Amino acid sequence: MKKIIIIFAAIVIILLISSIAVGIFVSFTIVKPTTEAINQKLAEHFAKIVRIPKGILPPNIGFDLTSYSWEMETVEKEVTGVKFSYNPAFVNNQNVILATLEMPEGGDVSIFNKVLGAVVSDKQSLNSALDIEKANLSANQDAGYSKINLSVKPETKQTVKITWEYDKSKLGNDLSQNYAKLAKYPPSLLRIFYGLPHLIIGLLGG
């Protein structure tokens, strides 16, 4: 009886170690490079709507959100913060990607609007944000988004946030192929695979 219990425990331990090894392999060889490629391709795609300056701090990259923050200065030497973020939609059932350019909480909306011309690269988006009465919030095939949403300060009718909506399936073959690599994993398992490299690198670095 003892022998059977020992054999059973050994099998369980072997299976557990094998599962962990497979998970680490998949995390480092498939999930990590694929999610990095998706973020890079999305950043290139979003250059059609927003100019992200070079030399700023690296983005804060997570499973659910990637965000950039930087400061812009007007010709009058006024400074305002700018935040650009998007959901990378790694999970298969996430079909919509929302990209958002916004003024940080507590910012000056008038200064934020002054720098929009230097930040927003899409003419339709820029004109809509600066003149909400004549805003064209419809799809733009060249820029790739399906619609625009504007958040406005009621007192001044100035834009404090621009949100672009994208259909994930219409962002090009490269992105579609990368998303297909992740689609085979259930959302909860994919999240674990995504987090494993960060956990292991953190433990080794610490």
Stated pTM of the model: 0.90
The span from the CA of 130 to the CA of 64, in Å, is: 30
Domain region containing 42: 1-206
The per-residue pLDDT for range 24-35, each reduced to its tens digit, is 889 999 999 999
Query: 61: which 2 tokens?
Result: 């990259």
What separation, in Å, do the N-terminal and C-terminal C-alpha atoms of the chain show?
Answer: 44
What SS3 state is found at 146? coil
Q: Is the dihedral of CA 93, 125, 109, 78 positive or negative?
A: positive
Closest CA to 38 of 83, 70, 86: 86
Domain count, the chain: 1
H or E element, residue 159? strand 158-167
The per-residue pLDDT for range 17-70, each reduced to its tens digit, is 766 777 788 999 999 999 999 999 999 999 999 999 999 999 999 999 999 999
